[in-house]
C-alpha cells in the first residue's frame, strides 16, 4: 500500500537525464583564467594526448567557470588575493562583481586602487569594470539571499559581469552557521546558472588543521565548491621548523596549498607564500625544495 502510494506520487524527471554526448555540447572548454597572483597560474593543468602519450599542459590560471573557495584564518592574505584577481580581470577588460560583506564599498575601493597601483595598473582605466555590491552596509543584502541574488543578477545583466568575488561568504551566515551549507549551495548554483568564474572567501577558524580546507567556513563548504585553496601562517617557535623552513625562530612563515580541484589537475604541494611590502600575494617554491 505504502509502496503504491509512493509510486503514484513519483514521476520520471526526464529533464534530469543527460546522454554524455549531449551534455558535452553544453559544457564549456577547459581553459585557465589568469589570477594576477604571481606563481599561482602555473599550478593548474590539464592532461592532453600527444603522439599517443598523455602529457601535462599548464592551464595558465584557475579553471574558467569554477567556483573556488579561498580559505584561511585571519590575516593570511585572502582579501589581497581576491583584490588582485579583481584588478587582473578588469585589466583584461572583463567585468567583475565584488560582493563585499566585511568592509563597506568605499574602503574596498580604496584597497582595490592600492592593489592596482602595486600591480602597475592605472585604476582610472579599469574602474568601470568593477561593480561593488555592498552587503557590508546593507543587511537587506547580507541577510536576505533572494535580494542578493536579484541584485547580483541585475548587475550581471547590466554590466556583462563574468566574474564574481564574495569577501566573505562566512559573513553571509554569521550567527546561523547551521545554514552554511545551504547558503553556499545556493550561491554555487547561482554562479553555475550565470556562468560566473567565482571566488568565495571563507574564514577558517584556528584550531582546525592549518593547511586543509576541512571545516573551513564551519560546515564542509569545500565539498560543495569546485576548488579549494588554503592560506596559512605559522610562527617559527622551534629549531626543527626553523630548519625546515630555513627561517629564524620568531619569524612568520606564510604557506599556500591547493586542497583540491575537481575541474582539472593541480599541484598538490605546500608552497611558500609571500606578501610584498606593497601588499601583493606571491606564491613561491614548494617547501622542502
Q: How far is the CB of 23 from ligand ATP (least distance, A)?
A: 37
Nearer CB in complex with ligand ATP: 33/112 = 112
Distance CA 210, CA 73 (A): 8
Interaction site with ligand ATP (CB under 6 A) = 72, 74-80, 114, 203, 275, 277-279
User: For ligand ATP, which residue has the nearest CB?
Assistant: 279
User: Which residues, at least 6 apart from 7, have a Cβ–Cβ distance to it below 8 Å?
Assistant: none
What are the grid coordinates assigned to 146, written together? 533572494
Site string for Mg ion, 57-86 (x = CB under 5 A): ----------------------x-------
Q: Is 85 exposed, middle or buried (0-12, 13-18, 19+ CB in 10 A)?
A: buried
Nearer CB in complex with Mg ion: 79/202 = 79
User: Which residues, at least 6 apart from 273, have a Cβ–Cβ distance to it below 8 Å?
Assistant: 77, 231, 254, 255, 256, 281, 282, 283, 284
Q: How far is the CB of 116 from Mg ion (least distance, A)?
A: 18
Task: Give CA separation, 46 vs 33, 61, 90, in Å.
Answer: 13, 11, 26
* C-alpha 68, offset from chain centre: 3
Q: List the single partner that 89 binds among ligand ATP, Mg ion, none, CB under 5 to 8 Å by kind.
A: none
**Residue 79 three-state SS:** helix
Is residue 32 within 8 A of residue 60, CB to CB? The reply is yes
Q: List the single partner that 114 binds among ligand ATP, Mg ion, none, CB under 5 to 8 Å by kind.
A: ligand ATP
Q: How far is the CB of 79 from Mg ion (least distance, A)?
A: 3
What are the grid coordinates assigned to 93, written together? 577588460
Is residue 281 within 8 A of residue 273, CB to CB? The reply is yes
What are the grid coordinates assigned to 278, written together? 606593497
Site string for Mg ion, 87-126 (x = CB under 5 A): ----------------------------------------
Nearer CB in complex with ligand ATP: 32/72 = 72
Q: Binding residues for Mg ion, how many (CB under 5 A)?
A: 1
User: For Mg ion, which residue has the nearest CB?
Assistant: 79
Q: How far is the CB of 2 from Mg ion (least distance, A)?
A: 52
Nearer CB in complex with ligand ATP: 65/228 = 228
**Residue 258 three-state SS:** strand
Q: List the single partner that 63 binds among Mg ion, ligand ATP, none, CB under 5 to 8 Å by kind.
A: none
Binding site for Mg ion (CB under 5 A): 79
Amino acid at each position: 500500500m505504502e509502496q503504491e502510494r509512493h509510486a503514484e506520487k513519483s514521476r520520471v524527471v526526464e529533464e534530469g537525464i543527460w546522454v554524455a554526448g549531449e551534455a558535452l555540447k553544453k559544457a564549456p572548454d577547459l581553459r585557465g583564467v589568469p589570477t594576477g597572483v604571481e606563481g599561482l597560474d602555473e599550478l593548474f593543468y590539464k592532461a592532453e594526448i600527444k603522439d599517443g602519450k598523455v602529457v601535462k599542459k599548464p592551464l595558465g590560471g584557475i579553471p574558467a567557470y569554477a567556483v573556488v573557495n579561498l580559505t584561511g584564518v585571519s590575516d593570511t592574505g585572502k582579501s589581497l588575493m581576491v583584490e588582485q584577481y579583481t584588478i587582473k580581470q578588469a585589466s583584461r577588460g572583463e567585468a567583475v562583481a565584488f560582493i563585499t560583506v566585511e568592509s563597506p564599498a568605499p574602503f574596498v575601493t580604496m584597497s582595490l586602487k592600492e592593489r592596482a597601483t602595486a600591480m602597475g595598473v592605472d585604476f582610472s582605466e579599469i574602474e568601470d569594470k568593477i561593480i561593488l555590491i555592498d552587503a557590508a552596509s546593507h543587511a537587506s543584502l547580507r541577510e536576505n539571499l533572494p535580494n542578493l541574488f536579484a541584485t547580483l543578477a541585475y548587475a550581471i545583466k547590466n554590466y556583462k559581469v563574468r566574474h564574481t568575488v564574495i569577501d566573505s561568504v562566512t559573513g553571509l551566515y554569521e550567527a546561523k552557521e547551521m545554514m552554511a551549507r545551504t547558503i553556499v549551495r545556493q550561491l554555487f548554483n547561482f554562479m553555475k546558472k550565470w556562468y560566473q568564474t567565482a571566488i568565495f572567501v571563507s574564514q577558517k577558524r584556528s584550531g582546525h588543521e592549518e593547511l586543509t580546507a576541512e571545516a573551513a567556513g564551519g560546515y564542509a563548504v569545500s565539498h560543495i565548491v569546485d576548488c579549494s585553496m588554503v592560506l596559512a601562517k605559522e610562527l617559527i617557535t622551534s629549531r626543527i621548523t626553523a630548519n625546515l623552513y630555513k627561517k629564524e625562530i620568531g619569524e612568520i612563515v606564510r604557506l599556500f596549498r591547493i586542497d583540491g580541484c575537481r575541474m582539472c589537475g593541480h599541484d598538490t604541494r605546500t608552497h611558500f607564500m609571500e606578501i610584498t611590502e606593497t601588499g601583493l600575494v606571491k606564491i613561491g617554491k614548494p617547501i622542502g625544495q
